Amino acid sequence: MAACVAVGVVLGIVGDDYFHTSPMLMVVGLVLGVASAVFATVAQIKRYL
């Protein structure tokens, strides 16, 4: 789950450096990483319900 957030943030930072849009893409990457982590957690929990 932490990898989802880490990948989103890292890709956001790389995108910010490339496009010179500092903190915008990092925040977008963070939000998308958290959303994917929540989705993965819910999918794992549903298997046991």
pLDDT one-digit tens code per residue, 15-38: 999 999 999 999 999 999 999 999
C-alpha–C-alpha distance, residues 14 and 35, integer Å? 20
C-alpha–C-alpha distance, residues 5 and 22, integer Å? 18
Tell whether the model's pLDDT for residue 1 goes beyond 90.
no
Domain that holds residue 22: 2-48
Number of structural domains in the chain: 1
C-alpha–C-alpha distance, residues 20 and 43, integer Å? 36
Give the type of residue at 49. Answer: L
How much is the pTM? 0.90
CB atoms within 10 A of CB 40: 13
| CA 21 and chain centroid, separation | 17
C-alpha–C-alpha distance, residues 49 and 45, integer Å? 7
pLDDT band at 7 (very low <50, low <70, confident <90, very high): very high
